[in-house]
Amino acid sequence: MYTKGLHIISTIHTKSDRHLTDVQVFKEKVNDFVTELSLTSVGAVFHDFEGGGFTAVVCLTESHLSIHTWPEYNRITLDVFLSNNSRNNEDRCRALHDRIIEQFEIEKIETENILR
């Protein structure tokens, strides 16, 4: 039986553009989180926009996370979606989301949780 997985969709306004322009810093952190939470990457894209923000996606056997940053607007869009194919990953999904957002100076965050 298929058990719906949690997809957390957050749009974040930050106090400054700090950490919104360097994908390498994000890459190191997120790879640590993936390992720490016993998730499995099957491929990733980390892309720096020249003079701008970055886009990163990590594909996981458990689904994916994606992030887009707009330093010019102090804005981040973050998705963390973990399915429950071999075990329940809801706590891991929330933990991964929370570890990522802790990297930024959050002013306001709008979050939707979708079970799918």
Backbone angles phi, psi at 96, to 5 degrees: -65, -45
Candidate residues 35, 38, 61, 88; the one interacting with its own copies per rule CB under 8 A: 61
- Residue 24 interacting with its own copies (CB under 8 A): no
Rounded to whole angstroms, how far apart are CA atoms 17 and 53? Answer: 9
First to last CA, the chain: 13
Among candidate residues 82, 81, 85, 62, the one with its CA nearest the CA of residue 2: 85
CB of 5 to its own copies, least distance (A): 8
Stretch that binds its own copies, among 14-22, 28-36, 45-53, 90-98 (CB under 8 A): 45-53
- Residue 14 interacting with its own copies (CB under 8 A): no
Contacts of 102 (CB under 8 A, 6+ apart): none
Candidate residues 22, 27, 31, 57; the one interacting with its own copies per rule CB under 8 A: 57
**Strands 75-82 vs 106-115: parallel, antiparallel or unpaired:** unpaired
List residues near its own copies by CB under 8 A. Answer: 2, 7, 9, 11, 42-47, 49, 55, 57, 59, 61, 63-64, 66, 68, 70, 73, 75, 77, 79, 81, 83, 85, 110, 112, 114, 116
